[in-house]
Amino acid sequence: MVSCLLGGCTSLVVSRMIEPTVDNLQKQTDLELVCEGAPAYLLMIDSLLADNPENRGLLLTATQSYSSYTMALAACGRIERAVQLSNKAKDYGLILLAECLHLDDGEKGYSLDELHGALASCRRSEVAALFWGGYGWALWLQYQSGSPASLAALAKVEKIMARVLQLDEGYYHGAAHLFLGSYYGSRPAMLGGNPAESRAHFERALAIGDHQFLPAQVAFAETYARTVFDRDLFEKLLREVLDFPLASRPDLALANQVAKKRAGQLLAEVDRYF
C-alpha cells in the first residue's frame, strides 16, 4: 500500500479505504464519536484531493463527507464549527458541479439561463454529482442569513435539484424532493414559496423513502407544518421519527440519529410555534 500511495494509485485507495470509511460513517449512531473522530478521515481526503484536484470520485466523496460532518456538528451543538466546515462542503460541491456542468465559478459566475442550458445536457449518470454538489452548496447557504446573494444562489440550487428529479427522483431516498419541499415551504409567496407544492414534495419523499429516511419527516414538520400552523401534523411527524428503530436501517443510522435529535428539540419547543 505504501508503494501504491507513492505511485499515486488514487483509485485503489478510494476503493479500498475511502469508500468503506464513508459507508461506516453513515452507520454511526454515536454523534459525539463522529464529531470527534471524523476530522482525521477528512484530512486524508483533503490530502488525496490536493494531489488529484479534478478526480470526480474524490470530489463526490469529499462533498458528501463534509456535508454529513457539518450536519453532525450542528446536532452536537457545535454551530460555529458547523458554519466553518460548511464552507468545505460548499467549496468541494462547487468544484464538483463545475466539473459536471462544464461551467466556471459555480458560486456566482453564470446566469440561471446558462445553468438551465448546462443542466439540460446532463445525463442520469451525473445525478450523484448534481445532487451532492447542490446539497453541499445549499448546506452552506442555510448559514448565510438570507442575504440577497444567498437567495440568488438558492434559485440556482433549486434548478439543480429539479433536474435531479427529472433524471432520477429516487436518488438518495428522494432527497431532491426533500430539498424542494423545504425550499417552497419555508419561503413567503413573494419569494417563490408555495405550501401546496411543498407538501406534495414532502409526501413524495416520504413515499420514496418508505418513511425510513427520517430527515424527510423532520423537514416536513419544521418547514411546512410549522409554516401553515398545523400542530397535529407537526407532532405526528416528529413522534414518528422518535419512535423509529434505528437498527432497522443501519445504512441510514447517522442521518436518522441527527433527525431524531432534531425531532426531540422541536417537540420540546412545540408551544413556542403553535
pLDDT single digits (tens) 34-87: 888 888 889 989 988 988 888 888 899 999 999 999 999 999 999 999 999 999
Buried b (16+ CB within 10 A) or exposed e, 111-134: eeeebeebbeebeeebbbbbbbbb
Q: Is residue 225 over pLDDT 90?
A: yes
Q: What is the pLDDT of residue 6?
A: 41
Q: What is the pLDDT of residue 3?
A: 38
Task: Give kind and range of the element (H or E) at residue 248.
Answer: none
Q: Is residue 100 over pLDDT 70?
A: yes
Average pLDDT over residues 268-272: 94
The candidate with the shortest Cα–Cα distance to 260, out of 247, 272, 244, 248, is 244
**CA atoms of 82 and 91, how far apart (whole Å):** 14
pLDDT single digits (tens) 239-255: 999 999 999 999 999 99
> Length of the chain, please?
274
C-alpha to C-alpha distances, 220 to 90, 127, 168, nearest whole angstrom: 24, 23, 21
The answer regarding whether domain 169-274 maps to CATH 2.60.15.10 reads: no
The grid coordinates listed for 83 are: 458554519
- pTM score, two decimals? 0.88
Q: What is the pLDDT of residue 60?
A: 93
Q: What is the pLDDT of residue 10?
A: 47
Q: What one-character DSSP code corresponds to residue 221?
A: I
The CATH architecture to which 1-168 belongs is: Alpha Horseshoe (1.25)
pLDDT class of 1 with cuts at 50, 70, 90: very low
Q: Is residue 128 over pLDDT 90?
A: yes
- Give span(s): CATH 1.25.40.920, the chain: 1-168, 169-274
